[in-house]
């Protein structure tokens, strides 16, 4: 069986029980005479007729049993009314009430229990009773009963046990939430404690304990009762605002509740100060407003899934059930059920406190879990930032180290380039002198020296750090025949190819391109040098292909080839192939070619088969007509 079905079934059986107990089982007595064999007699006034005046009653009580009888008059004050019961014409009343009426009508669902002293009667004895009321009683709202001493003692025992459980439970809840470390800094928990204290105070006052322990005047009873009821609603609404954190989450609801609190307190005070009937009519709307705002708050909590929202909504439902019980007790037809309703109301308030307490604990530990998770997230983020800072520091250190190394190499390169100028100048002078004897050799050497001189010039330009020096340009774009470049390249490497027994061949071309000539010379010479270095025997072929408006320079070799997994890596500086063996070189040739190609918006493609050879293609050369 589901929990909801169990709740509805319990509610249904409770209603059936209340209806059954509402049936009046008292036997009718002759007007003006009560027989003790009929005890207990409920609603005594309803069975009597006024004999002299609307505010006086005279009747007799007969012990028609064969035993001594011990009995009480008993009533629960449900409206202000002063009265006295006398035996015959005796001067001292045996039963009286000091609760005097006010201009406006006001009553409570539960009030203090008034019990007369024990009256003993011998078998066959008759007592004549006279009841005098300051105002005619509303019989339905002022039930006076005749009960035996034994029945009254049972009632008093049940009442004391029920009240002891109620007040004890309330104090335990209050102490628990006040002393709990997790509740000290929770506003909802603090307002809940005040709500519990106001509930206990209202229960103590409504059942007459304030009259006994604090000697509160009887004419203060009902005004205090109304103010305590208003305070109970006030603390509940403040508890709801804190539970929902309405100030930030639901500002409209927050303003509505505070407006109701101000208006409700004003009405409650004016009702008691002025005592006017119109204020009492308005005051009766206060519980209705409280019900609407409470239901609104429960709906907001449930809809927005506030931590503990289900407990909070269930607690409000139980609270409304208690209000329904009190409303039933205020109806004349259920006046005789006040004892049962009183016990159910106190039990309902204990259950209500437990449910609201569960809502607060659920919220406290739910929020604590959220805070712990947020702290863990913040710690993880802080750890990540520390790791990033450490990586950044390492990167900055590596950058400084690389900058220092680059500066060292720049200075070294600039120094070496500068030192090579003089030997090149000497070579030029020697070539001039040797032109007469060996003109062909001079022509070959002049090409190489011219190339070396231009490379040194570019290197020195790139190492200048003078801020006033002109910005280095990508290179002068010249229109020249590719055949000149390729022929010079063949002359530069003809001797090296002959020494290795490699055939260096050239396919003639009639195409002309626009490009910085020195960049193209460096690209072709580096590719030719690499091809010769990794070709132990066979052929190296240099040629040009035309593809539309662009030309492609290709260099073929029959060397050792390059594995596919090394092609990308070999384009990086200082990386040498696995088949390099003991050949000289720093691993810069292909990286220089790649940089020069990128700078001139050309592309370098490589196709290689290990053991058969490689093809390097420089694509993107624009053909000039």
Q: Does the reported pTM lie above 0.75?
A: no
Average pLDDT over residues 127-136: 82
Domain 26-152 has CATH 1.10.760: no
Spans of all domains in the chain: 26-152, 475-624
Q: Is the pLDDT of residue 535 over 80?
A: yes
Range 387-416 average pLDDT: 76
pLDDT at residue 13 is higher than 70? no
3-state secondary structure of 567: coil
Are the C-beta atoms of 293 and 250 separated by less than 8 Å? no
User: What's the pLDDT band for 404 if we cut at 50, 70, 90?
Assistant: confident
Ramachandran area for residue 105 (φ above 0: left; ψ -120 to 50: alpha; else beta):
beta
Contact by Cβ (8 Å): 615, 556: yes
Neighbours of 278 (CB within 10 A): 11
For the stretch 203-235, pLDDT in tens is 888 777 877 777 777 777 777 888 888 888 899
pLDDT over 80 (residue 511): yes
Region 418-424: mean pLDDT is 54
What pLDDT score was predicted for residue 487? 85
Among all chains, which residue has been given the structure tokens 């505070």? 258
66-100 in b/e form (b: 16+ CB < 10 A) is eeebebbbbbbbbbbbbbbbbeeeeeebbbbbbbe
Is there a common fold for 26-152 and 475-624? Answer: no
Phi, psi of 128 (to 5 degrees): -100, 125
| Lookup: tokens for 383 | 């750890």
Q: What is the pLDDT of residue 9?
A: 54
* Mean pLDDT of the region 513-521: 84
Average pLDDT over residues 115-126: 89
Q: Mind listing the pLDDT tens digit for each residue in 60-88?
A: 889 998 889 898 888 877 777 788 888 87
Q: How far apart are CA 330 and CA 623, in angstroms?
A: 109
Which pLDDT does position 27 carry in this prediction?
A: 34
> 123: alpha, beta or left, given left = phi > 0 and alpha = psi -120 to 50?
beta
- Ranked by mean pLDDT, the top range of 282-286, 303-307, 405-409, 575-579 is 303-307
Computed over every residue of the chain, the mean pLDDT equals: 76
How is residue 612 annotated by DSSP? T
- Topology adopted by domain 475-624: Heat Shock Protein 90 (3.30.565)
Q: CA nearest 485: which of 541, 523, 445?
A: 523
The answer to whether residue 557 scores a pLDDT higher than 90 is yes
CB atoms within 10 A of CB 530: 23
Higher pLDDT, 330 or 63: 63
List all residues 6 or more positions away from 471 whose beta carbon is below 8 Å from its beta carbon.
Answer: none
């Amino acid at each position: 069986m589901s929990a909801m079905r169990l709740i509805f079934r319990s509610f249904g059986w409770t209603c059936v029980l209340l209806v059954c107990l509402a049936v009046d089982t008292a036997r009718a007595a002759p007007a003006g005479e009560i027989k003790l064999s009929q005890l207990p007699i409920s609603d005594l006034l309803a069975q009597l007729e006024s004999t002299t005046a609307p505010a006086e009653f005279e009747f007799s009580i007969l012990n028609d049993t064969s035993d001594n009888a011990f009995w009480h008059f008993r009533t629960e004050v449900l409206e202000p009314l002063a009265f006295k019961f006398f035996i015959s014409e005796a001067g001292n009343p045996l039963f009286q009430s000091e609760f005097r009426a006010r201009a406006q009508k006001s009553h409570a669902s539960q009030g203090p229990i008034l019990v007369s002293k024990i009256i003993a009667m011998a078998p066959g004895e008759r007592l004549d009773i006279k009841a005098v009321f300051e105002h005619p009683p509303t019989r339905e709202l002022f039930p006076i009963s005749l009960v035996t001493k034994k029945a009254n003692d049972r009632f008093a025992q049940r009442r004391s046990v029920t009240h002891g459980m109620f007040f004890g439970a309330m104090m335990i809840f209050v102490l628990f939430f006040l002393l709990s470390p997790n509740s000290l800094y929770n506003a909802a928990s603090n307002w809940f404690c005040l709500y519990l204290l106001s509930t206990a105070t209202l229960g103590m006052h409504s059942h007459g304990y304030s009259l006994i322990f604090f000697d509160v005047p009887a004419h203060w009873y009902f005004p205090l009762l109304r103010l305590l009821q208003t305070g109970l609603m006030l603390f509940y609404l403040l508890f709801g605002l804190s539970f929902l954190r309405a100030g930030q989450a639901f500002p409209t609801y927050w303003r509505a509740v505070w407006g109701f609190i101000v208006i409700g307190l004003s009405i409650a005070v004016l009702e008691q100060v002025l005592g006017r009937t119109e204020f009492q009519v308005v005051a009766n709307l206060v519980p209705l407003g409280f019900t609407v705002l409470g239901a609104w708050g429960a709906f907001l909590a449930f809809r927005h899934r506030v931590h503990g929202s289900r407990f909070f909504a269930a607690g409000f439902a139980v609270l409304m059930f208690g209000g329904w019980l009190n409303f039933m007790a205020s109806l004349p037809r259920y006046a005789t059920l006040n004892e049962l309703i009183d016990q159910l109301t106190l039990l309902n308030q204990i259950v209500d406190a437990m449910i609201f307490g569960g809502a607060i604990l659920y919220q406290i530990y739910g929020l604590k879990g959220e805070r712990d998770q947020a702290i863990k997230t913040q710690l993880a983020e802080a750890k990540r930032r520390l790791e990033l800072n450490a990586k950044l520091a390492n990167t900055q250190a590596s950058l400084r180290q690389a900058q220092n190394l680059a500066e060292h190499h720049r200075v070294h390169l600039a120094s070496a380039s500068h030192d090579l100028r003089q030997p090149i100048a000497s070579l030029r002078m020697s070539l001039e002198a040797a032109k007469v004897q060996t003109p062909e050799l001079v022509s070959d050497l002049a090409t190489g020296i011219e190339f070396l001189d231009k490379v040194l010039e570019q290197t020195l330009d790139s190492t200048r750090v003078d801020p006033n020096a002109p910005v280095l340009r990508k290179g002068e774009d010249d229109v020249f025949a590719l055949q000149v470049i390729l022929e010079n390249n063949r002359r530069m490497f003809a001797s090296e190819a002959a020494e290795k027994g490699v055939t260096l061949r050239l396919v003639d071309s009639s195409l002309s391109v626009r490009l910085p000539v020195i960049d193209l010379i460096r690209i072709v010479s580096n590719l030719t040098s690499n091809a010769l270095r990794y070709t132990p025997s066979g052929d190296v072929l240099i040629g040009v292909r035309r593809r539309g408006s662009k030309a492609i320079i290709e260099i073929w070799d029959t060397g050792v080839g390059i594995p596919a997994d090394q092609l990308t890596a070999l384009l990086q500086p200082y990386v040498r192939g696995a088949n390099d063996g003991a050949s000289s070189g720093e691993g810069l040739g292909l990286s220089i070619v790649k940089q020069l190609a990128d700078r001139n918006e050309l592309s370098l493609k490589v196709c290689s088969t290990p053991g058969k050879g490689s093809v390097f293609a420089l694509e993107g050369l624009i053909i000039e007509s």
